[in-house]
Amino acid sequence: MFRKILIANRGEIACRVIRTAHRMGAATVAVYSEADANAMHVAMADEAVLLGPPPVQESYLLMDKIIAAAQRTGADAIHPGYGFLSENAAFAEACAAAGIVFIGPPADAIRAMGEKAAAKALMQQADVPVVPGYHGDDQDDDVLSGAADEIGYPVLIKAVSGGGGKGMRQVNDPGKFASALKGARREGLSSFGDDKVLVEKYLERPRHIEIQVFADQQGNVVHLFERDCSVQRRHQKVLEEAPAPGMTPQMRRAMGDAAVAAAKAIGYVGAGTVEFIADVSHGLSEDAFFFMEMNTRLQVEHPVTEMITGQDLVEWQLRVAAGEPLPLSQDELVIDGHAVEARVYSENPQKKFLPATGTLHRLRPPMEGPHLRVDTGVREGDEVSMYYDPMIAKLIVWDRDRPSALRRLHDALERYEIAGVITNVNFLAAVAAHPAFAAGDLETGFIDKHKDDLIPAPGPIPDQALALACLDMLLARQGHAAPADPYSPWSLVDGWRLNDRGHDELCFVGDDGDEITVTVHYPTTGGYLLSLPGGEMPANGEIDDGGTLWADLDGLRVSAAAVHDGDKVTILSGGRAHRIERLDKMALRDFDLEEGGKVTAPLPGKVVQVQVEAGASVKKGDPLLILEAMKMEHTIAAPRDAVIANIPFGPGEQVEEGAELVMFEVEVEDS
Ligand code: ADP
Ligand code: ADP
Ligand code: MG
């Protein structure tokens, strides 16, 4: 076994690998960027080496620096995690050349599966069913669009080197093919350095079902069953589970055999995942699943497999890389119970899941135990920066059966306290509780199909949350006032005023932008009487030393956390988070005089392309420019019909959140 392992990654996966390495008696070395100097993975490792500035090209992707760090610290193996250099054949070779074990498959196997097109061709030869489509070398525009016509719309254009749902465009009619092709090529080139694409049939009711495979250096190959990852947004997984709902033993055997055949065809070693897409227009069927791609690394969602098999897949990786045979044979592997993983992201479901940056002012995961696991790489106070993936944590639950596991998942999500950044926690809880999800009625379009249930439109702040926000302010004010003369009416903080009946007004702005005023009265019997939009509510309570607000709202006792962040307060109570802005009535609001006169950047990023010029007339919804942020392209569209006045940024320029990207001409009213 290895003495010292360097982990060439960051975040939760680096922490995950470090935990197993330590349990197995190996020392660990972390690498980090300047942005991660105080990160959790650095704190957990025995040693850590600085790579460089925050951008991944200047830190986590620097092969030479990482290998030099391994040599300097005497590490005998490198674990690449997922993402970054995990599927980079040149890196695997560079490790070998430096006499360091790469904990992953042989470089040739990475290369064989590295391109989706070549991988499909290879799988066809191995008699593994593939999605019908064109995966040839000829990249001529007409050849590709001709192939699309032949395949029949809708089609999917995929960057052959793509991953993580990037570089993909669904095209529903031929008129949109050319621009979609451009987009897929551009994203492929900028994210993966390769603009080659393939075109395949877009299945209408697909389910994403993948098989975990493992191979050792002795030539043994097993599979560790399937995972269903159909709940996706932007072709990217958000909830994964094992086993797959409705899976039959026959279908499992057929898929398992196909996955093992795929691994054998390329002389695979280590952990890998063979991703299939199943056409479920007529239910799950053994002759309607197709190879999509193989990920030659540990997968983000590997914990669900660990939970149902009782195995530690990182331990398996280390043993296999050290030359040991697979710990178990196919017959010894069994499925026990059901596991579900929910990926907790810093993102806004109401804004098409736009990633969000910010500080995790409060981060309290539910308590871990045999039924519940939290894999994370951040702690309270940490930053979700624009440089890396916005995943905060993976919440994994296990129980004897699926309904029990889903109940646990819902309960755990309700207990998850996060404030400071917008998250998808409420959204995940809505999925966990959705009847169609409970029924196992899955498809990759699940979120879109049920979006009205899962993503309620921003509405007014509920009275209870408002009452908690008021109480928090009132109690804090009470606590902070230190009267010199306790009997003076001036030092009372109960709103007593000369010539006044004694009330205060507290003003807030909700998510929907509406202003709300709550009148506070001070009954002689103590506590407060709040005039809320829905009526009057007596309220009282206290804030304990731990910062928890214990409230009595007209006889209903609830606890809450109020997390402050500038003018905003996040009220966490009853499994929901409400972000409420406090308006100081004395301060003038910074009204935007030219409301609608410009478009600002929704998040920090880089301008990739400007699609309009000054002077041009645009219609509402027209694309104005493309911004690349957090590894994704975002099309910025016109919010209304307008004439462009100015576009201050050009391609390649970095912009801050809120930067004015496009200015419109001031409209002159006809008189
Ligand atoms: P899965 O492992 O389940 O397939 P995804 O496809 O959603 O998960 O994400 C994995 C892919 O996303 C990686 O191949 C990589 O391209 C990208 N990715 C995810 N996390 C990171 C990360 N921390 N750093 C860099 N790339 C990442
Ligand atoms: P990535 O490398 O980005 O993970 P994949 O090829 O694995 O790319 O596809 C990602 C997701 O896109 C799948 O999980 C599925 O939801 C969707 N998808 C891929 N191919 C098809 C297809 N032919 N028809 C419908 N959906 C597809
Ligand atoms: Mg994939």
Structural domain includes residue 592: no
- In which residue are the tokens 């350095």 written? 193
Q: Which CATH number goes with the domain that contains 612? A: 2.40.50.100
Are 285 and 378 in the same domain? yes
Residue 373 annotated to the active site: no
Q: Which CATH number goes with the domain that contains 557? A: 3.30.700.30
Q: What is the CA radius of gyration of the chain?
A: 28
Quote the pLDDT of residue 501: 53
DSSP label of 667: P
Are 194 and 153 in the same domain? yes
DSSP codes joined into one string, 581-631: EEE-TTSPP---TTTTSEEE-SSSEEEEEE---TT-EE-TT-EEEEEEETT
Quote the pLDDT of residue 584: 65
Domain end, chosen from 154, 169, 201, is at 201
Quote the pLDDT of residue 395: 98
Lookup: tokens for 441: 């009625």
Ligand 2 atom closest to the Cα of residue 166 is: 3
* Spatial contact of 316 and 214, defined as CB atoms under 8 Å apart: yes
Which alpha helices (H) appear in 140-232, and where do they start and end? Answer: 141-151, 177-192
Q: Which CATH number goes with the domain that contains 257? A: 3.30.470.20
Quote the pLDDT of residue 489: 45
pLDDT digit string, tens, across residues 307-349? 999 999 999 999 999 999 999 999 999 999 999 999 999 999 9
Cα-to-chain-centroid distance, residue 607: 22
* Spatial contact of 431 and 502, defined as CB atoms under 8 Å apart: no
pLDDT digit string, tens, across residues 606-622? 898 898 888 889 888 78
Domain end, chosen from 52, 86, 103, is at 103
Residue 234 Cα to ligand 1 midpoint, Å, equals 13
* Spatial contact of 366 and 331, defined as CB atoms under 8 Å apart: no
Structural domain includes residue 73: yes
Centre a 10 Å sphere on the Cβ of residue 527 and count the other Cβ atoms it contains: 15
- Alpha-carbon distance of 535 to 515, in angstroms, equals 17
Q: Which long-range contacts (CB under 8 A, 24 or more apart) does 546-552 make?
A: 549/468, 549/471, 549/472, 549/475, 551/467, 551/468, 551/471, 552/527
Quote the pLDDT of residue 657: 80
Cα-to-chain-centroid distance, residue 36: 19
Quote the pLDDT of residue 585: 52
Ligand 2 atom closest to the Cα of residue 237 is: 14
Lookup: tokens for 543: 């804030």
Quote the pLDDT of residue 568: 84
Domain end, chosen from 88, 103, 118, is at 103
Residue 75 Cα to ligand 3 midpoint, Å, equals 31
Are 43 and 179 in the same domain? no
Interaxial angle between packed helices 107-114 and 116-125, expressed in degrees from 0 to 180 and rounded to the nearest 10:
100
Structural domain includes residue 669: no
Residue closest via CA to ligand 1's atom 24 equals 83
Are 301 and 368 in the same domain? yes
With a 6 Å cutoff on the Cβ, whether 275 touches ligand 2 is yes
Structural domain includes residue 671: no
Ligand 2 pocket test, pick from 82, 277, 443 with the greatest ligand atom count within 8 Å of Cβ, gives: 277
Are 39 and 177 in the same domain? no
Quote the pLDDT of residue 604: 81
Please give the residue range of the domain that contains residue 612.
598-664
Nearest one of 603, 557, 129, 599 to 348, comparing CA atoms:
603
With a 6 Å cutoff on the Cβ, whether 203 touches ligand 2 is yes
List of the chain residues with pLDDT < 70: 480-501, 584-596, 631, 667-671
List CB contacts of 330: < 8 A, sequence separation 6 or more: 222, 223
Quote the pLDDT of residue 553: 96
With a 6 Å cutoff on the Cβ, whether 131 touches ligand 2 is yes
Are 230 and 368 in the same domain? yes
- From the number of C-beta atoms within 10 Å of its C-beta (0-12, 13-18, 19+), residue 529 rates as middle
Q: How many domains does the chain have?
A: 5
Are 265 and 404 in the same domain? yes
With a 6 Å cutoff on the Cβ, whether 167 touches ligand 2 is no
For 237, phi then psi, to 5°, come to -70, 140
> In what helix (H) or strand (E) does residue 159 lie, and over which residues does it extend?
strand 155-159
With a 6 Å cutoff on the Cβ, whether 11 touches ligand 2 is no
Structural domain includes residue 390: yes
Residue 159 Cα to ligand 3 midpoint, Å, equals 12
Q: Which CATH number goes with the domain that contains 142? A: 3.30.1490.20
What pTM, to 2 d.p., does this model score?
0.86
Which ligand is in closest contact with the Cα of 290? 2
pLDDT digit string, tens, across residues 198-233? 999 999 899 999 999 999 999 999 999 999 999 999
Structural domain includes residue 485: no
Are 194 and 249 in the same domain? no
Quote the pLDDT of residue 484: 40
Are 369 and 434 in the same domain? yes
Angle (CA) 516-518-476 rounded to 5° is 115
Which ligand is in closest contact with the Cα of 236? 1
Ligand 1 pocket test, pick from 56, 82, 190 with the greatest ligand atom count within 8 Å of Cβ, gives: 82
Quote the pLDDT of residue 59: 97
With a 6 Å cutoff on the Cβ, whether 164 touches ligand 2 is yes
Are 519 and 623 in the same domain? no
Are 41 and 165 in the same domain? no
Are 651 and 546 in the same domain? no
314, HSE (Cβ side, Cα atoms, 13 Å):
23
Residue 228 Cα to ligand 2 midpoint, Å, equals 13
Structural domain includes residue 433: yes
Structural domain includes residue 640: yes
